[in-house]
Structure 1
Amino acid sequence: MSMIEMLTKEMEQEANTTRRMLERIPDDKLDWQPHPKSMTIRQLATHIAELPSWVALALNTDGLDFATAPYEPTPIHNTADLLALQEQSLNEAKTALSQATDEQLEPMWTLRNGDEIYSHTTKGEVVRMSYSQIVHHRAQLGVDLRLLDIPIPGSYGPSADEPF
């Protein structure tokens, strides 16, 4: 199996788990946050839904400079918007991966804010980092949902709420 095939398979598996988590968010809880330093559920979930688009970003560019392209989250108003955003991001990622070769994962990619370099890694590492970020933030969302007493789906097996 090629790296592209493995990355595609992993992306699709994680997307299913992420979709099951995002669809649990009640519309009336989007602005809830567990702590003043924490993101609201809207901010966190939007970030999670947008992260698959980083696959195409990594494969089709040499980097991202927040000084010239500041982050502007996609506005979402309800869970349906959120799920549509995730599907749009996934479609971008799937298209980019379907057109890529393993060799295209090797060039370097830089994340920066002007002169400050946050990371300088291969494009393949950026793709994997985007997957890791999804899992990381999905776990944060799981804690938020648990605090709201919303049942959590299993990720890699059963959860306390879904014994499978």
Structure 2
Amino acid sequence: MSNREFFIKRWEAEGPPTLRVLKALPADKLDYRPHPKSMSAGELAALLADEATSLIELCDKGSITWGGPPKNKKLGELVSEFEHASKTVSEKLRKFSDAAWDKKAPFYVEGKDAIGETAGGLCWLWLFDSIHHRGQLSTHIRPMGGKVPSIYGPSGDDPGT
């Protein structure tokens, strides 16, 4: 199994728990933040959707131009975007060559390559970052009045499947 194939396997394993976390958010409380320096639930949800969507750009263009996630989207839109992007990224990466996976892929912030990674390196970075932010977001759910879904195993609210 190549690194790219292993990534696809992990990407597809991490998508469903992230989707469960997004769907568990009370849609009317997306402005919740546990501390003034913390990102709000809505900001974290938008970041998760936008990071997944940016991997489509990486597959199509060989680079990502980052402007940050759009603001003020409704939860339903973010869930739909994440679902679509998760599926699309898997499909596109299945067609990706290992040479394309190993090719340098700029991550542009204000016109400059901010990371200097390969396409594969950016994919792994995005996956790890989304897992990190999913964890942050999962800690927002219960104080918002929602029920925390199973991620890797049972939660206090969900025995898992």
Q: Does 1:135 align with 2:131?
A: yes
**Secondary structure, counterpart of 2:105 in structure 1:** strand
Q: Aligned partners of 2:25, 2:92: CA distance in 1, in Å? A: 29
1:94 matches 2:86:
no
Given the alignment of the two structures, is residue 71 of structure 1 paired with residue 88 of structure 2, yes or no?
A: no
Amino acid at match of 1:71: G
Please identify runs of 4+ aligned residues in structure 1 that moved more than 6 A. Answer: none
Unaligned runs of 5+ in 2: none
Query: 2:19 corresponds to which residue?
Result: 19
Aligned residues: 160
1:39 paired residue number: 39
Query: What does residue 30 of structure 2 align with?
Result: 30
Q: What letter corresponds to residue 137 of structure 1 in structure 2? A: H
Superposed displacement of residue 36, structure 1: 2.1
Q: CA 1:75 to 1:97, structure 2 compared with 1: closer, same or farther past 3 Å?
A: farther
Is 1:108–2:127 an aligned residue pair?
no
2:116 is aligned, of 116, 120, 135, to 120
Deviation, structure 1 residue 11: 1.2
Query: What residue number does 2:150 align with?
Result: 154
TM-score (norm 2): 0.85
Structure 1: segments with no counterpart, 5+ residues = none
State the distance in 1 between where 2:8 and 2:128 align.
14
How far apart, CA to CA, are the structure 1 residues paired with 2:51 and 2:98?
21
Find the counterpart in structure 2 of residue 58 from structure 1: 58
